[in-house]
């Protein structure tokens, strides 16, 4: 499992293990239990389901895959004077629709 990290990357304060679809590799902290399963493979975005903006914040809810496994992405973007300054994310694995505990779906 990847640990959440906070780094300054070309002026962007970022919290997460991925930046613009690419893993931060050497900068990503590792938990004692092991390495990231998606080592060397970035996030793949298939669809943005929701985008909500309020003031300087934008929230996106997307789906895609990590290493071929279906995932959900919730990302909160902070803009200052029209410039992206911070980003937080939550990336979770999503079971196949047939294996879901209910019929409502995550998206």
Nearest to 50 by CA among 65, 69, 72: 72
Q: Where are the domains of the chain?
A: 6-99
Tokens encoding 101: 């505990």
Going by pLDDT thresholds of 50, 70 and 90, the confidence category of residue 97 is confident
65 pLDDT higher than 50? yes
Supply the pTM of this predicted model. 0.60
What's the rounded Cα separation, in Å, for the pair 2 and 47? 23
As to burial, measured by CB atoms within 10 angstroms (0-12 exposed, 13-18 middle, 19+ buried), residue 18 is buried
- Of the candidates 37, 26, 98, the one whose C-alpha atom is nearest the C-alpha of residue 68 is 37
Q: Which fold has domain 6-99?
A: Nuclear Transport Factor 2; Chain: A, (3.10.450)
Task: Report the pLDDT value the prediction gives residue 36, as an integer from 0 to 100.
Answer: 43
């Amino acid at each position: 499992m990847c640990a959440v990290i906070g780094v300054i990357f070309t002026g962007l304060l970022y919290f997460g293990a991925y930046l613009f679809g690419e893993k931060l590799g050497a900068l990503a902290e590792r938990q004692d239990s092991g390495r990231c399963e998606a080592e060397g493979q970035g996030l793949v975005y298939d669809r943005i389901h929701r985008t909500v903006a309020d003031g300087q914040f934008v929230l996106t809810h997307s789906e895609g895959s990590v290493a071929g496994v279906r995932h959900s992405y919730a990302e909160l973007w902070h803009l200052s004077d029209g410039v992206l300054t911070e980003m937080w994310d939550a990336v979770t694995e999503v079971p196949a629709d047939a294996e879901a505990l209910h019929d409502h779906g995550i998206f």
